[in-house]
Amino acid sequence: MDCIFCKIANGEIPSKKVYEDSFILAFHDINPEAKVHVLVIPKEHIHSCDFVNKSNSFNVSYIFEKIPEIARLAGITNGYRVITNCGEDACQSVKHLHFHILGGEKLPEQIK
């Protein structure tokens, strides 16, 4: 499958890793929109929020379990924002479910 985040997950494309285990990978966004901008993805290909279902939703709860640890590992100490874009109107550019963690500075009220 020609998915850039699957290629990052399997090591074909390098990334600046923050955290990795059997199920998920967290890495720095190539185009940061905050002082710290990390993406968290499931290793399993899920197109977007629209494709979360009973058989794969474990990935989402697991990612949220791990987000505080990932934020800490990325050096975030004073709060963060978690965003996922789903579909055209939300400008989802990579069609593999991912969660943006933004922090490391005082964020504007609206970002992304």
- Looking at residues 6 to 25 of the shown chain, list those that interact with ligand DGP (rule: CB under 6 A): 13, 15
| φ, ψ (nearest 5 deg) of residue 40 | -120, 125
By CB under 6 A, tell whether 29 contacts ligand DGP: yes
Question: Can you tell me which of 4, 6, 60, 82 binds ligand DGP, judged by CB under 6 A?
Answer: 4
27 near ligand DGP (CB under 6 A)? yes
- Looking at residue 3, its amino acid is C
For position 44 contacting ligand DGP by CB under 6 A, the verdict is no
Q: Report if residue 31 touches ligand DGP, rule: CB under 6 A.
A: yes
